Chain A
Amino acid sequence: MTEPWALSIDDAAALIGRRELSAGELLASLLERINQTEERFQAWTSIDIEGAMEAARQADQDSANHRKHGWLHGIPIGVKDVIDTAGWPTEAGSRACAGRIPAADAASVAALRTAGATILGKTVTHEFAYGQNTPPTRSPWGLDRYPGGSSAGSGVAVAAGHVPGALGTDTAGSIRNPAAVNGIVGLRPTTGLVNTDGLVGLSPRLDQVGPIARSVTDCTLLLAGLVDDAVRHRLGNGDDPVRALRNRAASHDSVRVGVDRASWAESGVTADVIAVLEEAVEDLRRNGAHIVEVSLPELRIGLPITLVFCLLDASEKYRTLLAARAADMAPGTRVMFELGLVVTDADLDLALNARRFLQQTLRRAFEEHRLTALASPTLPAVAPRLADLATDLTRDGEAADLSGALLLLSPSNVCGLPGLSLPCGKAGGLPVGMHLLGRPFDDLDLLALGYRYEQETPWKTMKPDCWQSVGGEIDLP
């Protein structure tokens, strides 16, 4: 039998539902897995063992009484440390927030608890989710490799088998980026779909909370746990999210996927990643999708729009903290907050206009070509070595530079569109992610497209070497 820690959310929930696995057994297996590997990966800022054990006990008691809370009954979940958890530290990866303990759960955390999830602990984030510092988290694909960001801990915890799913936040790609480098799946939902109250965020214009998991099915289950009933029905996956996903995927014979290869080149996508994406696009075609060549050079303005929104909104939000605790912030983060202080109303007007322009451009392209999604690489290169990584978000892209990723991912945030990253192959032994940008509130269509791709390709089973070592030493480079 598969070790409980290695189970998907879907499978674990089914076993718990049939009482063939208890929530306590699942939790114990995950805690043992964390105990074996956390020293190397450092995915967590804190683990609420007592709280999780109590929640698991309650879940098992409820199971015995035939009371099931939801699709996530008894499933342990990690939560990025910018998302509030009642009575448990939420420090946003910053010394300036050390000791901060929120009184209430963020709306997303409360929703997951209502759906039956056990909140296992808080995962490492770049400071304030800004991606400017270097957290201690290390990639299970290579300790010297970039583990993703800013939801680095959530991505690594899921990829390393510490937890079957986690919450991340995505202001400019911070869910999809760690999903890509860790060989897993991440969804940045449509803006407004998930309640972001209780988020130590950067920009309400750009921020979104979303799921990170090892399959599209599990992301769908997490998303269903994050939204309320009305939204779930609007999405079309009301009563049984997995069945709705499969039904939607089965009806996808005439799906149309746009590809803008020129934008890949302009974003500095490396030749090895392009080769993997070409194969992925061919797999989509073989799988029934109609591939449509599109030209969208306007996507490049997503980066400067993001920059203006992020700088301005974050500096407004953290101005008081900056004045009081500047010395406790990492220099890179502090510089971003400082720079935001000089962004003017005229600069904001430019960005607002450009956002309308980009939205109209994308809408026109999706409608003219009747697209379900626009496919691209998630990142322009495989995970760079940490020693080679530049983190300046204001620059306009090079291969080992995070800003190249922003060119590909930021249009989703700027226009509020759903973006899904899922594994589509390897280059140089490291995972490559495919990004699917979708129509607003058509998140289920996007997931269905990803699900169908996932079912017809081997990449869902792609795991780092440490996955094989259960209860023993991990072999890492």
Chain B
Amino acid sequence: MTETSGLEDARLAAIGAVVGGDILAADRPALDEAYANLVGGLDRLRQVPLVGEPGRAFTVGWDS
């Protein structure tokens, strides 16, 4: 596997284990592009200040 997309072998293997090699190969270009966009999104989330306790339950209302 190439490393050009950033989707490393372990992650590709995890996907291939579910859908099979042929479908993974067919989906690979779109998957690479989508993964690159996900990585960009995660980078933006890393810039968000830490708020509260990790894993704290989320409540929709603003009463608390």
Contact = CB atoms under 8 A, between A and B. Distances in A.
Given A307-B37, A353-B52, A359-B58, 11 more contacts: A303-B41, A335-B30, A338-B18, A341-B15, A352-B54, A357-B51, A366-B62, A394-B33, A394-B34, A440-B60, A440-B61
A344 to B, nearest CB: 9
A304 B18 contact: no
B33 A392 contact: yes
Interface in A410-434: 415-417
Q: Which of A327, A350, A367, A439 has the most CB of B within 10 A?
A: A350
Interface in B12-64: 14-15, 18-20, 23-24, 26-27, 30-31, 33-35, 37-38, 40-42, 44-46, 48-52, 54-56, 58, 60-62
Contacts of A332: 30
19 contacts: A205-B58, A301-B44, A304-B44, A308-B38, A326-B19, A334-B23, A338-B18, A341-B11, A341-B14, A341-B15, A342-B7, A347-B42, A354-B45, A356-B56, A360-B51, A394-B34, A394-B38, A416-B60, A441-B60
Contact of A392 (B18, B34, B41): B34
A160 B16 CA distance: 44
B52 to A, nearest CB: 5
Interface of B: 7, 11, 14-15, 18-20, 23-24, 26-27, 30-31, 33-35, 37-38, 40-42, 44-46, 48-52, 54-56, 58, 60-62
A394 B37 contact: yes
A396 B35 contact: no
Closest 9 CB pairs of A and B: A304-B41, A416-B60, A394-B37, A350-B45, A342-B11, A356-B51, A326-B19, A354-B48, A394-B34
Contacts, number: 119
A347 B39 CA distance: 10
